[in-house]
Each structure stands twice: as structure tokens, then as C-alpha cells.
Amino acid sequence: MALQALQSSGVAFRKILSHFPEELSLAFAYGSGVYRQVGPSSDQKNAMLDFVFTVDDPVAWHSKNLKKNWNHYSFLKVLGPKIITTIQNNYGAGVYYNPLVMCDGRLIKYGVISTNILIEDLLNWNSLYVAGRLQKPVKIIAMNENVALRSALDKNLKSAVTTAFLMLPESFSEEDLFIEIAGLSYSGDFRMVVGEDKTKVLNIVKPNIAHFRELYGNILQENPQVVYKIQQGRLEIDKSPEGQFTQLMTLPKTLQQQINHIMDPPGKNRDVEETLLQVAHDPDCGEVVRLGLSAIVRPSSMKQSTKGIFTAGVKKSVVYSSLKLHKMWKGWLRKTS
């Protein structure tokens, strides 16, 4: 499995993990505190560490975590683990974040997501929120033997490659591909307008080409629709309508539905396959796919950020937002200096 190549045995991450209940189906660290980025996020030593914990039983996990780490939660903690889980599962992207937590001498943020909701997102891209993070290099700290989860993780990476192919020309570089993949989950994300550095995707990819290659190398070599010239770092794909139709038919279900919604005239009610066949012949096929991605990401990122005000609490939300804006300001100053 491609993700195993990036598994980490880092003692520091495991020490942080020891402060939380053990029942995790997957735990990973991501972001500028884990992998070096250029620009305003380049201070890796002092960067906040971002984690996602995947749990089979969120109510039981939050119940134990409230006993161990009561002060991590906002005012919502008084409502108990069942209400916290309802807020986690039913609002935004299915993740409950506790930000700005001091743990083992490091400032961390951690999100909790149900295993079932994560699997659905990985397979169908319902929100492309945690699935999007897992399309970029991450440090896997813990993973159990959940076959369905492992299969979904792999499918998510293959879907990312196929989607990027549809938005790229016939011939392109590895860097072009990885920039397209890294940008999938930012398509339409309102935080890229307010709160994030606009060059974020480039800053993620450029110092981490080797990690992206490790993550996607086997998938690219095994894909029958691409000629992967590893030595030159170049790729060639089939851009015929037939080739694009094959790719469109393998896209995650929610993305297919969004494309159908965009392209299907009111009252026509065509099935998805008919619409995808039309898109495959459209010179603007890549732009249609990009619009479909935006239709997934925009609402989920807005709802998740709104939920974050309540799960973090007002004070932490203000501090966290100011840190993001400061980072964006630093990036702007770099570009203008």
C-alpha cells in the first residue's frame, strides 16, 4: 500500500499520542510542523503540529478523552460525549478539532473523526476534507488492521491521480502533477481567500517532491493510462475522449454527481454516465472537473470553519485566526520584498 512508505516511527509523535485514549484505527500528523514547507510556514521547529485521530466509537473515545484531557475542550465539554459526537458527525466535514493545545512541550491541534465517516470521504469525496489531507504526504503514527480503511486510503490516492490527469495537458512534469494533486482539496476553499497564504500549494510541493514520489510512484507505474518516464520526471497521458471518459467513470461518486449537476440542464434529468460522456468530449473537460471539486470543497470548508468557532471556543478561535492571518501577511511581505 502506497501510504505505508510514509509511516513514521518518530518517538516524539508517539509520546504525544500516549496522552490520548488508545482506541485509534488511524492516527496521522500532517502540515508544516511535519514536512518542511517554504514561505511563511518554513519555521518547522516552532510550527504547530496537526494531528487527525480516527476512532471506531467516537462517544466512547470522547468520554475517555474528557476524563484525561478535560481542558482541551471548549464550553461544549459540559454537554458530554454524546452531544460532542453529534456535533462532530453531523456538522461540517465530520471532524471535531481541539486547537492550540500544549502537549509534551509542543503546541498541537488534533481532529477526531469516525472511521466510517473517513472511509466514506476517502471513497466518495463527500467533503474532501480529511481525504484531501491524506492526498499529501503525512506521517502515519498508528494504524490498525482495518482492511476497509486501508483499501479506502489506497483508492483515495488513485482517485487523486485520475482527477489531476483530467485537469492536465497531454504531457507534463511530476511537479505539475503533484501541484495539481495537492491543490485538489483547496479548490473553492474560502480559506484560500482569507486566512491562508495564496502560494500554499507550491510551498507544500516544492520541498517535498521526493515524498510525493514515494506516495504516488507505484500508482503511476501501475496505471495503464500513463507513460511514466521516471528518469526524466515526465508523464504522458491519453487525452482522447475515450481516455477521458474512462477516467471520468472512475471518479469518486460525489464528484461525478457534482459534475452532473453542473452540466445537466434543468428539466433534462440525464443520468450521470450520459453527462460524463458529454464532458469527455468537451475541450473544457478539466475546468468542469475543477468546478465539481469546488462545489464539494466550498460548502464543507465553510461549515467546518464555522463549527470550529464552537469546538475551539471564541478565545482560541480568535488566537488561531490571528495566527493564520499573520502567516498570510508574512507570505505577502515575502512576495513584495
Residues 292-302, mean pLDDT to the nearest whole number: 90
- Measured CA to CA, the distance from residue 108 to residue 316 in angstroms comes to 13
Residue 267 is predicted with a pLDDT of 67
Residue 332 is predicted with a pLDDT of 42
The domains of the chain are located at 1-310+321-336
Residue 290 is predicted with a pLDDT of 96
Using a 10 angstrom Cβ sphere, with 0-12 exposed, 13-18 middle and 19 or more buried, the burial of residue 311 is buried
pLDDT digits (tens, 9 = 90+) for 15-31: 999 999 999 999 999 98
Higher per-residue confidence, 139 vs 316: 139
Residue 270 is predicted with a pLDDT of 84
Check residue 96 and report its DSSP letter: E
- Cell for 183? 491543490
The region of weakest confidence among 217-221, 299-303, 333-337 is 333-337
**Residue 195 predicted with pLDDT over 50:** no
Residue 237 is predicted with a pLDDT of 97
> Of all residues in the chain, what percent carry a pLDDT higher than 70?
83
Looking at every residue in the chain, the average pLDDT score rounds to 87
- Measured CA to CA, the distance from residue 87 to residue 306 in angstroms comes to 12
Residue type, 278: Q
Residue 6 is predicted with a pLDDT of 43
Residue 226 is predicted with a pLDDT of 96
pLDDT digits (tens, 9 = 90+) for 166-181: 999 999 999 999 999 9
pTM of the model: 0.87
